Amino acid sequence: MHGVCGAGAGAAGAGGRGDKLTPRPQANQFDRRQNAARRRLSSTAGAVFAASNAALALAQLGREGEATKEMQGIARRAPGSADMRAALAALYWSQVWSTDGSG
């Protein structure tokens, strides 16, 4: 069995070809795809921040229904966004507080 770089193929290399350190085309293709995925993820992170700012602006303008919907979508797309989850919790709290009659 040959590794990605032909490691462990013996002194003569992979299959006796003498190319034990030559990367396989699949490894190069994997690296290209991985780098492309990283670029997409970093640009997606920027989109999440932009959408978060837009949702917060909606809430500040008093358009809480639209803001809630936007924030829920962002929280689903980017579950690691603690700021958006906190803002959504605060929005839920304010909605309950104002309909509760206690506030």
* Upper half-sphere CA count for residue 30 (Cβ side, 13 Å): 6
3 domain residue, yes or no: no
The pLDDT value recorded for residue 19 is 53
Q: Is the pLDDT of residue 24 over 70?
A: no
Kindly state the percentage of the chain with pLDDT values over 70: 56
Let me know if residue 31 belongs to a domain. yes
Task: Give a yes or no: residue 7 inside a domain.
Answer: no
**Residue 6 within any structural domain of the chain:** no
What's residue 37's pLDDT?
64
Please give the pLDDT value at position 56. 92
What's the distance, CA 10 to chain centroid? 41
Q: Are 81 and 52 in contact (CB under 8 A)?
A: yes
pTM: predicted TM-score of the whole model, two decimal places: 0.54
Domains contained in the chain, number = 1
Domain-embedded: residue 37: yes
Which residue range(s) make up the domain with 79? 14-100
Q: How far is CA 77 from the centre of its chain?
A: 8
- In a domain, residue 85? The reply is yes
With tokens 């991985």, the residue in question is 34
